[in-house]
Each structure stands twice: as structure tokens, then as C-alpha cells.
Structure 1
């Protein structure tokens, strides 16, 4: 998926305007959750997201989706990761 398609998709699904997020090389965030639904399009690098005992790697062109309050962890590749992130309030 490209950025234009992602913008159109999230707008049609009621998400806020996507913002650009950049994470540091080889960084990570331990298990956490968000009070909102999130969708993100990877632009550069990669991110690995863990849900329970499962982990998945997302690379440029991939989209990941997290439900509100979904516990997960994140790890970023040796070049970090750059992605467009859109949020939707859980009450929407």
C-alpha cells in the first residue's frame, strides 16, 4: 500500500488524519496498550509487533492494526522505522 491509498482508507474508516512517526534504530517499547484504535503504514525500515506469544514483522508497504487496549510490544530494526499512524477514539 502507498501513502495516498492509506490516507483514503483511514479517512473512509473514520480515523484521524495520519501523522508521521519516526522511531530510533534498534529501539523497543515493552508491553503496553493504547486507549484508541490504531492503523499504521510502514514507510521505511521495519517494526516487529508482539501480541501475546506471537510476533509479526512489518516492512515498507505493510499496514498494521491494533484494537483499543490491545497489549503489545514493539521492536525497531537497525535503521529504525518511519510510519504513518492514524488513530480512532474507541468510542467512535
Structure 2
């Protein structure tokens, strides 16, 4: 998905304006949860998200969607990751 189409889908789904997030290479966040729903488009690099017993890799052009309060862990690739995220 491209940035324009993603931004349009966020608006359609009632998300406020998205923000760009950057994470350093080869770092991770242990299991945590957010009090908001998050929908993001990977712009650069890659990100691994582990939720329940499943780990998914997201690369440039991929979209991930996490419901509010969903426990998950994050790991960032060798070049880090930059993503555009809407939160509500």
C-alpha cells in the first residue's frame, strides 16, 4: 500500500492525523499494550510483532493493525524501521 492510499484509509476509518515513528536498528520492546488502536504503514526497514504465539514480519508497504490493549512485543530490523501510524 502506498502512503496516500493508507492516509485515505485512516481517514475513512476515523483515525486522527497519522504520525511518523522511527525506531533504532536491532532493538526491541518487551511485551506491552497500548490504550489505543493502532494502524500503521511501514515506510522504511522492517518490524517484527509478536502477539499471542505468532510473530509477523512487516516490511515496506505492509500495514499492521493492533487493537487497543492487545499485548504484543516489537523487534526492529537491521536498518531499524520508520512507520506512519494512526492511533485512536
Indicate the TM-score class for this superposition, using the shorter chain for normalisation: over 0.9
- TM-score, length-normalised on structure 1? 0.94
- In the other structure, the counterpart of 1:15 is 15
- In the other structure, the counterpart of 1:77 is 77
Q: Which runs of 4+ in 1 moved over 6 A?
A: none
2:65 paired with 1:65: yes
- In the other structure, the counterpart of 1:53 is 53
Q: Deviation per CA, 1:23-65, whole angstroms, max 9, x where unpaired?
A: 0000100000000000000010000000011100000000000
Matching of residues 17-32 of structure 1 within 5 Å: 17-32=17-32
- Supply the RMSD in Å over aligned alpha carbons: 0.4
**Structure 2: gaps (5+ residues):** none
